[in-house]
Structures are given as structure tokens and as C-alpha cells.
A and B are shown apart, each in its own frame.
Chain A
Amino acid sequence: MAINEILLTPSWFISLESLFYIISMIVTFAISFYSYKVYKLSENRSYKYLFVSFFAISFGFLFKILSNLMVLYYDKLSPYHIFNYLKLSYIYTGSLVLYAFLILGGYIILACLASKVSNRKVIFSLLLISLLCAVLVDKARSFTFFYFFSFVLLVVYIIPYMYENYQKKKIRSSYLVFSSFLLLGIANFSFIIRTVYPYLRFYALGQFISLIAFIILLISFILVLKK
């Protein structure tokens, strides 16, 4: 399989997309770090799971960045024996599978927190579905299942919960968090449209919207720290 047979990023956009993911990775890592701090102080398990969720998402972005770098620097790396074609191919597809699994894993934890699901069988089943979606990125050479599953988790569980929280608390930071996840839902919808109608612009649009979502999350986090 050619290294970029499952590439969905237009070539002109790969560098910019990598920058977007670096920013998103830093934001999600910062939130995971603070969640862990809150968990240590409060011993509230929800914040342990929030830490795990954002850490998984952050790590997922790292693997996506790695896969983009494989494509960007393929010509420079492939002459080296250690980076022969086969290995680069495995690193590339492996990175994408891990990206998909970690992002979905992060969303599943958030969805379970939002719907107060603590049944381990349910959580395990959802993680198995996410693993299937991730493997299909390689086997079916498609992100379709990944985007659909992300969209369902966001729209059915996470966004409504964040909206209810904003309605209850009526504070600026809860509004920003809700807006952020709403934009992530819209971004995912854009990716789904792209899989049905392969106009590359929907992909870039979705990534721009995702970036704005993470910037809003960052703003919310900064406002919290400035309190």
C-alpha cells in the first residue's frame, strides 16, 4: 500500500494541518495536566477520567502529527535503510490507527462522564467499537467510521451535557467549553460531508473549525487560571 493511500489531507494543507494539531495537542495536554492536579486535590474520580480523556486526545494528535511528518519527509527519510519503505508505511498507518483509537477513546470517556455511565461492560464495548473504527482506517482505508462514531459521541452525549451545564452554571467558562465542543461537532459533520462528497475544501474547513474550537477551549482555560 502506498504510504499515502489513506491520506485525506490535501498536500497543500499538510504543513498547516500539522501546525493546527500541534496547537490542539498543547491545549488538550494543558487541560489534562490541570485535571490531574484537580483530581489529586479533590480526589473526585471524574477529574481523573477527564485527565485520561484529554491526555488520550492529546496523544492522539501527536500520532497524527507523526503521520503527517511521514508524508512530508518521506523523500528525505526513505533513502535511509532504517526507514525503508515498509517501515515508513507501517509507522504511517500505525500512527493513523493510534490517532483514531485515542481520539475516540477520549471522546468515549467524556461521553461516559456526561451520561454518568460507570458500567465497565458498556465502556469496554464502546472501546471495542472505537478499536474497530481505528482498524478500519487501515483495512478499509477510510476514516468514515471514525468520523461517524466521533460525531455520534459528540452530538448525542457530550454537547447536550455541556449545554445543560452552561444552562445550570451560567458562567462564561462553561459557555466557552460548550461552544468549543459544539464547534468540534460541526467540524466532524464537515468531515462526514467530505467523505460523502469528496470536496477537499470540506476537510480543510473542518480542520479550521476544529482549531477554533481548541483555541476557544484554551481561552476558557486561560480565563480560569487568571481568576
Chain B
Amino acid sequence: MERRDKLKIIHDMLVAMQDKGGKIKPTHLLYKSNLSHSKMQLYLEELFGKGLVKEEHKDTNKFYVITQEGIKFLENYRKIKEFTDSFGF
């Protein structure tokens, strides 16, 4: 399996949220992102820090929700991926 770079991991996590209608439970995210729990927490901290994701609570459930910034990131990701592929570094 090809090793993912940081941008790809962030992209995969955000896509997982988007595919679930914009919000996802932690356990589902763990499964979809294909990361260990500790790695996922590290990346989530970064996503919170960058404002790409926020946390929501409904009844006793916790959800991670993709923000507008997160959606913008996904739109820009394609451009960034194309740019990095064009140079190949």
C-alpha cells in the first residue's frame, strides 16, 4: 500500500466526513481514515487548529463536522495535487 503524505491523509479524513453528509462519528472516522487512534487524534488536532473541522454533540453522541474551510480545502486539494504531480517532488 502506497504511503500517504500528510495532505492526502487530511484529504481522506475530510472526504470521509463529506461522504457521511458532512459529519461523522469518531469510530467511523477511525475506520474510514485507516489510521491508528493516536495518529487520528494528532491529525484531528491539526484539523481543529486549521478550522477545517469542528466538534458537535447530539444527545450522547459526538460528531466531527467538516466546516466551510474544510470544504474549501477539498476544492483546493485537487489543484495542489495537480501542482505536486506536475513537478513530482
Query: A residues within 8 A CB of B7?
Result: 41-42, 44
**A169 at the binding interface (Cβ < 8 Å):** yes
**B85 at the binding interface (Cβ < 8 Å):** yes
**B58 at the binding interface (Cβ < 8 Å):** no
Main secondary structure of the interface of B (DSSP, over half): helix
- Beyond A173-B86, A227-B82: 13 further Cβ-contacts under 8 Å? A38-B80, A41-B80, A42-B6, A44-B5, A44-B6, A49-B89, A113-B89, A171-B85, A171-B86, A174-B87, A176-B86, A221-B83, A224-B83
Binds B, one of A77-85, A86-94, A160-168, A190-198: A160-168
**A34 at the binding interface (Cβ < 8 Å):** yes
A:40-70 near B, CB below 8 Å: 41-44, 46-47, 49-50
Closest approach, in angstroms, between the C-beta of B11 and any C-beta of chain A?
10
Encoded as 1 (CB less than 8 Å from any A CB) or 0, chain B from 59 to 80 comes to: 0000000000000000000111
- In the complex the two chains form, is A43's CB within 8 Å of B6's CB? yes
> What's the A-B contact tally at a CB cutoff of 8 Å?
61
Query: A residues within 8 A CB of B80?
Result: 38, 41-42
Closest approach, in angstroms, between the C-beta of A129 and any C-beta of chain B?
23
Q: Give residues in B with beta carbon < 8 Å to A.
A: 5-7, 78-80, 82-89
- In the complex the two chains form, is B79's CB within 8 Å of A174's CB? no
A:172-219 near B, CB below 8 Å: 173-174, 176-177
**A2 at the binding interface (Cβ < 8 Å):** no
Smallest CB gap from A164: residue in B: B88
Number of A residues contacting the other chain (C-beta, 8 Å)? 28
Query: B residues within 8 A CB of A174?
Result: 85-88
* A177 and B5 contact, Cβ closer than 8 Å, known pairs A224-B82, A227-B78: no
**A18 at the binding interface (Cβ < 8 Å):** no
- In the complex the two chains form, is A169's CB within 8 Å of B6's CB? no
**A225 at the binding interface (Cβ < 8 Å):** yes
Closest approach, in angstroms, between the C-beta of A28 and any C-beta of chain B?
13
**A142 at the binding interface (Cβ < 8 Å):** no
- In the complex the two chains form, is A162's CB within 8 Å of B88's CB? yes
Q: How far is the CA of A162 from the CA of B87 in the complex (A)?
A: 7
Closest approach, in angstroms, between the C-beta of A29 and any C-beta of chain B?
15
* A47 and B84 contact, Cβ closer than 8 Å, known pairs A41-B7, A42-B6: yes
Complex A-B, nearest 9 residue pairs according to Cβ-Cβ distance, in ascending order: A165-B88, A173-B86, A46-B89, A42-B7, A224-B82, A224-B83, A177-B86, A174-B86, A169-B85
